[in-house]
Amino acid sequence: MKRARAHTTVALNDLLGFELAGIRYAIGIASVREITRPLTLIPIPQGPPEVLGLADYRDEVLAVVDLRKSLGFEARRSTDPCKWVVANAGDQFFALVVDTVTDVFSSAGQSPRPVPNNQREQGITHAYKDQADLVFVMDLTRLSKRLRMVDVGRLSAGGSSK
């Protein structure tokens, strides 16, 4: 007997929620490829501080980004549980290290709330109210621009980052 596959439609206003240091954040669900457990990490010298290293993910080399470092939070202990959110901005794929993935929710019918300038500089575009919490929405394109400093292709081919 053939199994029916569930098909879902992703709306432009659907967001993937996650937590960092007890604060809720979200990214557009359309940019998410997969949520996975951490993989083996290869450190890279002289990369941006928020890039923990590279990982072999389904025959692709991904930069692994510590969002805690990127946003200025205390570093996560290596023994703390986490998830990787494999996502893309344009043609660039990377893994985002988050404390926990919380949910998928819709921002339809909600008005985005502005955030202070210092938050926009960190890539937070706006916030939504979800139940009792504020959820801060991240701009992956901005993060992707910082990651372009890491030449993943050259590093994965055994080249030097100098």
- What pLDDT tens digit does each residue of the chain (162 aa) get? 444 444 455 566 799 999 999 999 999 999 999 999 999 999 988 878 889 999 999 999 999 999 998 888 988 887 889 999 999 988 888 999 999 999 999 888 888 999 988 888 788 999 998 778 899 999 998 878 766 655 555 444 544 443
- Phi, psi angles (nearest 5°) of residue 71: -100, 0
Question: Are 29 and 17 contacting, i.e. CB atoms less than 8 angstroms apart?
Answer: no
- Gap between the Cα atoms of 75 and 84, Å rounded: 15
The CATH architecture one would assign to domain 14-150 is: Beta Barrel (2.40)
- What are the residue boundaries of the structural domains of the chain, listed by start? 14-150
Sort residue 58 into left (φ over 0), alpha (ψ -120 to 50) or beta.
left
